[in-house]
Amino acid sequence: MSGRTVTPPHAVSDAYVGLLEAFRAAVEDAGMTVKLPSRAVSASFIASGSTTAVFARSLYLRNWPDRRMPRSQRLDLVVSALETFQTLTWSLTKSTVYLNYLVETSDVAVQLVQSLHFDFTANGQDCHPFFHVQLNDEVIAEQYIRDLRSESFDVELRPPKDRQISSVAMSIPTPDMTLASVLYCLVAHHLPGVFPAFAKRVHTIQNRLPLVGFDALRNSMMKSCHFKSSHWFAHMPSLA
């Protein structure tokens, strides 16, 4: 993603810089590597309108460990985040985090084995929980990983060989899985040896990350007329 960069409040910029630095340090402490775009983290805030801005950032995680993967196969991960802010308050009004799991097929080609993305929109989407994940068989779009190409990222992302006739992608409710939460879970699952130190380090960052603007969710939880957990869908007029 390219466009005019904007300067967020120092606390916001510093939180994202600190989060990604802590993630990079944890990865390297585990003996792994992470490729990041050459664009500075602070320069990844892009104007998307007169009162909104997007934080766009991708990461490439090569040859990651997983207890279910045969040692003979290489597991790669690509993460791409698009997080939108209302610049008057710099609250987070939308977040989409794409995650592709890939296995090696050649030096410059990998095969998709799992694709998912985490979504949140402040006012909700019809028939979607406020925070949700979708599983599908789609590779991350090239426009979202273009910045990674500046880091000698020459891997060609390929969809599965045997694609389903119809890709069903139900929206499954989740906690607030923004970029910070996704990176936190990746370290916990794949790099448990360094997770305690990483968790301690990012704990101090959490209160500087932008607040998620979910007044609609907060309001719905105060009502008593909903079926259990239906506040996931309470932004819909017919359920309000």
Confidence at residue 209, expressed as pLDDT on a 0 to 100 scale: 84
Residue 99 CA to its chain's centroid (Å): 7
Query: Which token pair is 25?
Result: 């340090």
Query: Which token pair is 151?
Result: 């880091």
By three-state DSSP, how is residue 78 classified?
strand
Q: What angle do CA 46, 119, 22 make, to 5 degrees?
A: 65
**pTM of the prediction?**
0.85
By three-state DSSP, how is residue 118 classified?
strand
**Mean per-residue pLDDT pooled into runs of 10, the chain (240 residues):** 80 93 96 90 90 94 84 88 92 93 77 90 80 88 86 80 65 85 92 91 85 64 50 51
Domain map (residue ranges) of the chain = 10-212
Sorted by sequence, the CB contacts under 8 Å of residue 220 that are 6+ apart come out as 226, 231, 234, 235, 240
Confidence at residue 58, expressed as pLDDT on a 0 to 100 scale: 94
Confidence at residue 238, expressed as pLDDT on a 0 to 100 scale: 53
